[in-house]
Structure 1
Amino acid sequence: MKLLTATSTTQDPDERGGELGLKFGDRFDRAAELYLQHFDDLQIPADTVRCIAETSHAALGVWAPGLAAETEAIAAAAHVELWKLAAVGARTEVLAAAPPRSEGECSTAVFTGVGRAPETMQTWDWHAFLVPDGLLVSLVSEEGRRVKMFTEFGTAAKIGVNDAGLGLHFNILAHTGDSDHGGVSVHAIARRILNEATSLEEAEKIAASAAVSASTCLTVFELHEGSSRAASLELSPSGMGIVRPGEDGWLFHTNHFLDPELCRGDTMPADSTTAERYQHLDAIRGSLAGLGPLDRARAACGGEGAKAAICMTPDTGKPLIDQWCTLLTVCVDVENFALVYYPGRPDEAAAHGLTRF
């Protein structure tokens, strides 16, 4: 995955969308083309994809008009049909119309406590063929918050930080309540939290206000007066669960529900590695704290290097749609308002170094 960067200083969503669409029109168009083909490969009917995309965008227009306007401006400037770009923005909602695959996405670790800034790391696992390019954006929200985020071309946000000392990681989930009803995009919820929230309580309130049709976990963390807090917000059409760190300050999340009520409806396939990855993080907690981002990436492998459970390498013996890859290793530095990343696995990050954005 090649990472491209953009900076926008306007607080006007139409202007921002126009800037992004003009600068990266070919990337937005390519992302829409790749995702529509992927949905077809998953045997999701084309009319279902369009219906979910349009319904989800309409829901976004009510819940977050500025984000809807930004999407519309990107589509216009990039000369991409709005519903096609909206299908990328609602890619999790479209995927909810098909049974979950045997794998999930992403492993997250956050360490918080009194007298310390959050120490975080996430692997972002997805299909390399779907994301030849990723996007790092620095922007100013309508509310005046400075935001830095990583996302795909066409999705509102994924992983990020704002200048209020609040950051966010992102993990997909699957639940019996998921449907093709086309609710507010979970990626838009992540973006609105980054745009507006200055505390965990505000982030929880924003997330709880959205009617969703697909499940996802947003792990939110903050630094306030020298101490840090975190919570995993497990979003589902059946409700929102909130998971707090353990007594030792650690909070881990992969791709299964941890909330005791919501986990009863978990539909992540039994052959997913989500439990294995969670157990790996839990097992190395004693050696992961108190490290800088580079050493944290190295320690996260637990001495196993590329063979660590959280490091995904595509199995070329499987169909393309079942080939998973760790496309990004990222630490969120809320204290210094930065994303520290490497476009690959944690063992590769440890070997080649991290970049600060």
Structure 2
Amino acid sequence: MLLPEPPRINLKGTPREIGLHHGHALSSQIKAQIAIYTEMFAYTSKLSWPSVLSLAEEFRVSIQKLTPDIYTEMEGIAEGAGVNILDIVALNCRSEIALGKFSDGCTSISWKKSGDERVLAQNWDWTAHVKRNLALMAIEQAQKPTIYMVTEAGIVGKIGFNTAGVGTCLNAIRAHPTDSSKLPVHVALRLCLESSSVKDAVKTLESLGGVASSQHILISDSKTSLGMEVSPLGNVYLKENEAGIITHTNHFIENKYVDEPPWLSGSPIRLERIRQLSSELVKEGFKGDKIVPSLLREKVFSDTYNAPQAICCQEDPSRHQSVRSSTLFNIIMNLAPENSSAEIVWGQPGSGKEGPVLKMPWT
């Protein structure tokens, strides 16, 4: 049975125009996301949706103040979808409002192919309920790079790259505290994807006061990769190892600014596993043009060691259905000057049930 392909949405114009088109095109998916997260917040955090919206109001004020164009876009999404602005803010702040009680998985890697070319890739693990509400999105804005990303309906920034060759991956971290005066991580991801370089992205986030929750953003351009272990209390930036590689899962490796109790037992095992698998490829002589998406899907991202909490994550039937994670897609980006692209596999790579290889850009 072939998996249905995600919608491809082309957005262009002013922030309001982009938001309206997003909201109209994905109205039913946005409303479905609100229903899914209503159940998830009730189960994980004992929060009703009205309580979630009350917390979202604190972030709404900060988003409007710090990133007025992105806030205007959110207003357009809300109007286009026929929902309240706080519904859209809540979706974009869902990681912060949950106080780390959601259990996103995800395993990511960046790999230097040459002096001016890098591969950036990850499996994205989350509850299967949201899969039907994901979309491939292109965003064209005046005087900014065009963005290509995979995102949840209603969310303004996530995993992808831009025409300046900047790409982002995300690994969720569970740690206190959060700070509603700072940038929600999905807004931070959008700012990264509007940047012309890794250096520019770091400067932008720091100038706006940093990120509201603990997260790992793996960011690359064609010449640089950084593992940004961000938190409201301080950031730590991980650099490439001697093989030109950065790997990450769902716990902080070096950031000691926040209190991060052990919460996802498979995360250290996945980290050790992706380091082992990538090291083996290096020893076998894979470098430069040999580092292709099919190789990484076959040798790294289809790996099921320590299932269900594997790199290719399987559903754990012992967990509540609202937080039962599995790998929903794999994305492998090739970041090169003026010629960046990505391959996406919908479903679990190597399972025999995944969909076809999808391309970004798609035109």
TM over 0.5: yes
Aligned-pair CA distance for 1:210: 3.5
Question: Which structure 2 residues correspond to residues 45-60 of structure 1 after superposition, within 5 A?
Answer: 45-60=48-63
How many residues were matched structurally? 345
Q: Take 1:302 and 1:36, find their aligned partners in 2: how far apart are those partners? A: 32
Indicate how the Cα distance of structure 1 residues 303 and 86 shifts in structure 2: closer, same or farther if over 3 A, else same.
Answer: closer
Aligned-pair CA distance for 1:116: 5.2
Q: Take 1:115 and 1:213, find their aligned partners in 2: how far apart are those partners? A: 33
Q: Take 1:44 and 1:161, find their aligned partners in 2: how far apart are those partners? A: 34
Structure 1 residues 341-350 or 247-256, which shifts more?
Answer: 341-350
Q: Take 1:174 and 1:207, find their aligned partners in 2: how far apart are those partners? A: 20
Contact 1:329/1:349 (<8 A) preserved: no
Q: Take 2:81 and 2:10, find their aligned partners in 1: how far apart are those partners? A: 17
Aligned-pair CA distance for 1:254: 0.6
Which of 6, 14, 27 is 2:29 aligned to? 27
Aligned-pair CA distance for 1:36: 1.8
Q: Take 1:205 and 1:349, find their aligned partners in 2: how far apart are those partners? A: 43
Indicate how the Cα distance of structure 1 residues 30 and 248 shifts in structure 2: closer, same or farther if over 3 A, else same.
Answer: same
Please list the CA deviations of residues 49-85 of structure 1 after superposition, one character each: whole Å capped at 9, or x if unmatched.
Answer: 1122121122111111111000101101211111112
Please list the CA deviations of residues 288-326 of structure 1 after superposition, one character each: whole Å capped at 9, or x if unmatched.
Answer: 743211221001057658958201111223321341110
Q: Cα RMSD between the aligned structures?
A: 2.4
- Match of 2:229, as an amino acid? E
Report whether the alignment pairs 1:230 with 2:225: yes
Q: Take 2:54 and 2:172, find their aligned partners in 1: how far apart are those partners? A: 22
- Normalising by the residue count of structure 2, what TM-score does the alignment of the two structures yield? 0.87
* Structure 2 residue runs without a partner (length 5+): none
Please list the CA deviations of residues 117-164 of structure 1 after superposition, one character each: whole Å capped at 9, or x if unmatched.
Answer: 112220000111234220111111343311111110121111111111
Question: Which structure 2 residues correspond to residues 13-24 of structure 1 after superposition, within 5 A?
Answer: 13-24=15-26
Q: Take 2:183 and 2:303, find their aligned partners in 1: how far apart are those partners? A: 41
Question: Which structure 2 residues correspond to residues 1-357 of structure 1 after superposition, within 5 A?
Answer: 2-10=5-13, 12-42=14-44, 43-96=46-99, 100=101, 103-112=103-112, 114-115=114-115, 117-178=117-178, 181=180, 183-195=182-194, 197-208=195-206, 209-223=208-222, 228-262=223-257, 265-269=259-263, 271-285=264-278, 286-287=280-281, 289=286, 290-301=290-301, 307=307, 309-335=310-336, 336-348=339-351, 353-357=356-360
Q: Percent identity?
A: 21
Contact 2:161/2:333 (<8 A) preserved: yes
Indicate how the Cα distance of structure 1 residues 95 and 182 shifts in structure 2: closer, same or farther if over 3 A, else same.
Answer: farther
Aligned-pair CA distance for 1:233: 1.1
Aligned-pair CA distance for 1:222: 0.9
Q: Take 2:261 and 2:306, find their aligned partners in 1: how far apart are those partners? A: 28
- Match of 1:310, as an amino acid? I
- Normalising by the residue count of structure 1, what TM-score does the alignment of the two structures yield? 0.89
* Structure 1 residue runs without a partner (length 5+): none
- Match of 1:343, as an amino acid? W
